[in-house]
Amino acid sequence: MQESVLVEREGMVAQVVLNRPERLNALDLAAWRRLGALMEELDGDRDLRCIIMRGVDSRAFAAGADISAFARERADVAQARIYGRTVHAAMEAVMRCCHPVVAAIEGVCVGGGLELACACDLRIAGRSARFGVPIKKLGLTMAYGELKVLMDLVGPANAAEILLEGRIFGAERAREMGLLNRIVEDGGALAEARATAERITEGAPLVARWHKKFIRRLLDPTPLTEEEREEGFASLGTADYRRGVEAFLAKRRPEFRGD
């Protein structure tokens, strides 16, 4: 059987490909588990500088959860707890991964697919992409862990609109809500994600990792520790900082090595 999630390497960039085209990349329990395991593996690869997440074709990023699997995976509360913990662990693996993650979205991005896109750091979508979480029609709630990820991105009013109305909406509305960083012509999301990844990889990799970490940390209202505040100055102790300053003064492009 073909794997539900694939990894493709292009130098310093990895592509994580949701690969269930027969289900519009709908995610079942096995797919969520594989996604979480792959993201933890990529987190440990210090040769990487960026990750692109996308669907296997232009029809869908991910059409949410695989409802056809609910009878065996979410039949009752006990199963729902296991499923929910697995989903949350996979999303946490995306958010905790030290490398910036860019979502390239074409076509359908709904339900769990939208939640997964929210866990990424940047989101780029084709103009005809469609978004929403119509789980009110299933009599299903979004658990606290996933809801927090959505609310951190779009705020409580927009999260309420998405969940209470249950509408499917377009890319322009998604951008208005703060779901998207930019919209491109249909079929162009991956190319723009690659261009974004190239801009990211041109910078000092340790700095990109620190900035991702700092942004995520500041979503937590817990006061920063003194150790965390000190980490904000750690970049000045790196060799890449010296390389960057020297290159700027010499008016040449810096060659960062991640040390």
Residue 259: inside a domain:
no
Residue 98: inside a domain:
yes
pLDDT at 128: 98
pLDDT over 90, % of the chain? 93
Whether residue 242 is found in the same domain as residue 123: no
Is pLDDT at 166 greater than 90 in this prediction?
yes
Question: Encoding tokens for residue 87?
Answer: 């989903």
Residue 257: inside a domain:
no
118 touches 153 (CB < 8 A): yes
Residue 256: inside a domain:
no
Which residues on neighbouring strands pair with residue 62, listed in sequence order?
A: 109
Residue 184: inside a domain:
yes
> For 97-148, what is each residue's pLDDT tens digit?
999 999 999 999 999 999 999 999 999 999 999 999 999 999 999 999 999 9
Question: Encoding tokens for residue 259?
Answer: 């040390």
pLDDT at 21: 94
Residue 103: inside a domain:
yes
Question: Encoding tokens for residue 119?
Answer: 């866990």
Q: What is the DSSP letter of 225?
A: P
- Boundaries of domain holding 179: 5-200
Whether residue 196 is found in the same domain as residue 214: no
Q: With left for phi above 0 and alpha for psi between -120 and 50, is residue 73 left, alpha or beta?
A: alpha
Of 164, 179, 200, the one marking the end of a domain is 200
Region 223-247 average pLDDT = 97
Is pLDDT at 19 greater than 90 in this prediction?
yes
User: At residue 63, what is the residue type?
Assistant: A
Whether residue 194 is found in the same domain as residue 215: no
Whether residue 110 is found in the same domain as residue 139: yes
Whether residue 184 is found in the same domain as residue 114: yes
Whether residue 94 is found in the same domain as residue 210: no
- Cα distances from 231 to residues 61, 92, 133, 207, 227, in angstroms, run 36, 22, 38, 11, 6
CA–CA dist 169, 56 (Å, integer):
22
Whether residue 87 is found in the same domain as residue 125: yes
164 touches 137 (CB < 8 A): no
> For 175-214, what is each residue's pLDDT tens digit?
999 999 999 999 999 999 999 999 999 999 999 999 999 9
> For 62-88, what is each residue's pLDDT tens digit?
998 888 888 888 889 999 899 999 999
Whether residue 26 is found in the same domain as residue 131: yes
Whether residue 104 is found in the same domain as residue 148: yes
Residue 131: inside a domain:
yes
Question: Encoding tokens for residue 168?
Answer: 């499917």
CATH number at residue 243: 1.10.12.10
- Cα distances from 204 to residues 54, 69, 231, in angstroms, run 25, 43, 16
CA–CA dist 102, 99 (Å, integer):
10
Whether residue 193 is found in the same domain as residue 209: no
Average pLDDT of the chain, as a whole number: 96
CATH number at residue 78: 3.90.226.10
Domain count, the chain: 2
Residue 145 CB neighbours (<10 A): 15
Confidence band of 44 (pLDDT split at 50, 70, 90)? very high
243 touches 255 (CB < 8 A): yes
Whether residue 74 is found in the same domain as residue 101: yes
pLDDT at 71: 84
Q: What is the DSSP letter of 143?
A: P
- Cα distances from 46 to residues 39, 211, 225, in angstroms, run 13, 16, 27
pTM, two decimal places: 0.95
Is pLDDT at 1 greater than 80 in this prediction?
no
Residue 185: inside a domain:
yes
DSSP conformation letters of 144-195: HHHHHHHHHHHHHHHHHHHHHH---EEHHHHHHHTS-SEEE-TT-HHHHHHH
Whether residue 188 is found in the same domain as residue 143: yes
Helix intervals (H) in 69-143: 70-73, 77-96, 112-119
